[in-house]
Chain A
Amino acid sequence: MTFLIRKKSGKILAIAALCLSLVACGGRDFKPSYQWSQYPGQYYFYLEDEGEKTVEERATELLKVTQKLIEAGEKEQKVPPGLYAEHAFLLMQTHQYEDSQSFYEKEVKAWPESRYFIEKMIAELQKKRGL
């Protein structure tokens, strides 16, 4: 390869190659495609507090997080899969049945794969409501 490079063009070529390498190494900027923020950590606490606090207490704590996440996520269309359903489940645990059903329906609308399972959850919800 060395004999192909002339004295004058060598320097230019070297600079060009250096630039190329920098561009290639830079790669793309990756950002998470959904709004997760503190959810996994808080869910971890929710599980850990089992036995120490009542279901309602734990659910209301986690509800604050999911509420914020959904509000923030809906602006940028970055609500992660399953979050609507988790929010709906927590609402069910705190006896807010009407809101719960609307969030379950949102989940089905956003992620059609969940339809079968969410319909089962809605059936359970309606049992609790006494319908």
Chain B
Amino acid sequence: MKRFRHSIICCLCLWLSACGSSDEYVYDFTEFRQEQPRSILVLPPLNHTTDLELYDHFMATISVPIAERGFYVFPANNVRHYMQDQGIADPGLLDDIRVKRFKELFDADAVLKTNIQNIRKPLIGMDGATIQYEMALYSTVSGELLWHRTYRYEYDSGPNFTIAANNFFFSSWAAQLLVELVASALVRDLPHLHYLVSNGSFETTLPLLSGPYKNTDPDLYQETPRAYRSYFAELSKNKKNQLLSGDENTVPISEEKFVVPQPFEEEEISGQDPLQNNPAEDLEKPAESIKDEDVMAADIDKDSSGESRLDRLLRELEAEQRQLDQAIENE
């Protein structure tokens, strides 16, 4: 019996020792390895929600995880100013611009496009929100997609962090801090945002290979940073107890894996041709009728035969001339 117990402990410990690594998130980085981008330009996100100020808040926070991953991120405020000067600050307009053009404008190696698809906020006085957004990294050299991911996120502000507790048990650690950072920026949960930026570790959050300023193991992002773990362990004690007792049903993050990437470039504007409903066309019709009237006014003196007075005079003059010529010849 004792031997059996020991063996069980052995197996349990071996199983625990393997908890550091996980193969939950796998992505094909062959194109990324070929390109080896050094600098990333973050474009203002395409916003399919009604909140128009979202992209500024997004831009304020997103450079942190990318820089911590070891890339050069273009300064957000400078870029914003420059784009406004160039008249390309509108995210919809930026989406139409060829990706390769950003090499000429900024000398950026890669461009990060974000598409905020959905944000559902409950009524005032209630906590929580649902956020869905996708991110795609394009190379400005080849114009190809380097990395793509879609996130759906149940955000719960306040003293208890539902998602935190959830992920502590069920989901992979990679990219969760990033997702939470973006989510807190989008929901404008400022205290939480401050806490994350100052206390969180973003080294392993962005599920990308590390950049030139970070010489770490490329697969490091699969591991769980200890600081992050302890942070959530502190925050979600209450929630954890609830989960263990099975009081509450909570929905974990759903990360869509191996989704066939849909590049932003392929989206076409399927609007009506602006010329088809041109109001100027309606104005042309009265203009034409006026024209006709003018022509009519000029030809008012026409005879019933359709001959104008001037023509008749000319004809009479010609006839007189001919008669005179004949008289001269007869003499």
Find A30's partner among B64, B77, B226 (CB 8 Å cutoff): B226
Q: Considering the chains assembled together, what is the distance between the CA atoms of A26 and B226 in angstroms? A: 7
Closest CB of chain A to B113's CB: distance in Å?
18
B77 touches A113 (CB 8 A): no
Q: Is the CB of B2 within 8 A of A40?
A: no
Cross-chain contact B78 with A5 (CB below 8 angstroms): no
Pairwise interchain contact A44-B201, C-beta atoms closer than 8 A? no
Which residues of chain A have C-beta atoms less than 8 A from B226's C-beta? 26-30
- On chain B, the number of residues with a Cβ less than 8 Å from chain A's Cβ atoms is 60
The verdict on A68 contacting chain B, using a C-beta distance below 8 Å, is no
Bound-state CA distance A38–B3 (Å) is 56
C-alpha gap A128/B203 in the complex (Å): 39
Size category of the binding interface on chain A: 35 or more
Chain B 54-93 per-residue mask, 1 if CB under 8 angstroms from chain A, else 0: 0011001101100110011111111101100100000000
Bound state CA distance, A25 and B173, in angstroms? 13
- Residues on the B chain within 8 Å of A24, using CB: 16-20
Set of chain A residues within 8 Å of B14, measured between Cβ atoms: 17, 21
A17 touches B81 (CB 8 A): no
CA distance A41 to B125 in the complex (A): 23
Cβ-Cβ contact count across A and B, 8 Å cutoff: 170
State whether A41 and B194 are in contact (beta carbons under 8 Å apart), knowing that A14-B10, A18-B9, A117-B107 are contacts in the complex: yes
| Closest CB in chain B relative to A86 CB, distance in Å | 5
A11 touches B6 (CB 8 A): yes
The complex places the Cα of A28 from the Cα of B213 at a distance, in Å, of: 19
A36 x B19 contact (CB < 8 A): no
Contact between chains at B63 and A38 (CB < 8 Å): no
- Minimum CB–CB distance for B74 against chain A, Å: 6
* Contact of A54 with B by CB under 8 A: no
Contacts of A20 on B, CB cut-off 8 Å?
13, 17
The answer to the question of B190 belonging to the interface, with a C-beta cut-off of 8 Å to chain A, is yes
Q: How far is the CA of A87 from the CA of B224 in the complex (A)?
A: 34
Q: Which of B72, B85, B225 contacts A111 (CB 8 A)?
A: B72
Q: Is B180 an interface position by the 8 A CB rule?
A: no
Interface string of A102-115 (1 = CB under 8 A from B): 00000100010111
Q: Is the CB of A36 within 8 A of B198?
A: yes
**Which residues in window 1-59 of B have CB below 8 A to A?**
2-4, 6-7, 9-11, 13-14, 16-20, 38-39, 53, 56-57
- The CA of A6 and the CA of B2, in the complex, are separated in Å by 10
**CB of A13 closer than 8 Å to a CB of B:** yes
Q: What is the CA–CA distance of A124 and B214 in the complex, to the nearest angstrom?
A: 32
A107→B79 CA distance, assembly (Å) = 14
Q: A41-B193, A41-B197 are in contact. Are A85 and B78 (CB under 8 A)?
A: yes
Given contacts A5-B3, A43-B76, contact A82 B193 (CB under 8 A): no
Set of chain A residues within 8 Å of B61, measured between Cβ atoms: 40, 44
Is B317 engaged at the interface, CB distance under 8 Å to the other chain? no
How far is B18's CA from A67's CA once the two chains are assembled, in angstroms?
A: 45
Report the separation of the CA atoms of residues A2 and B6 in the bound assembly, to the nearest whole angstrom: 9
Query: What are 28 sample pairs from A and B whose C-beta atoms fall under 8 A apart?
Result: A1-B10, A10-B6, A10-B10, A14-B13, A18-B9, A24-B17, A24-B19, A25-B19, A27-B224, A27-B225, A28-B226, A31-B201, A33-B203, A36-B64, A37-B198, A40-B193, A43-B60, A47-B60, A48-B53, A80-B67, A81-B63, A82-B67, A82-B72, A86-B77, A113-B38, A113-B72, A114-B74, A117-B82
- Other than A33-B213, A44-B190, A82-B73, give 9 A-B pairs with Cβ distance below 8 A: A21-B17, A24-B17, A30-B203, A38-B197, A47-B56, A86-B75, A90-B77, A113-B72, A121-B82
Measured CB to CB, the residues of A under 8 A from B are: 1-2, 5-7, 10-11, 13-14, 17-18, 20-21, 23-34, 36-41, 43-44, 46-48, 80-83, 85-86, 89-90, 107, 111, 113-117, 120-121, 124
User: 4 closest pairs, A vs B, by CB?
Assistant: A116-B107, A82-B75, A10-B6, A17-B13
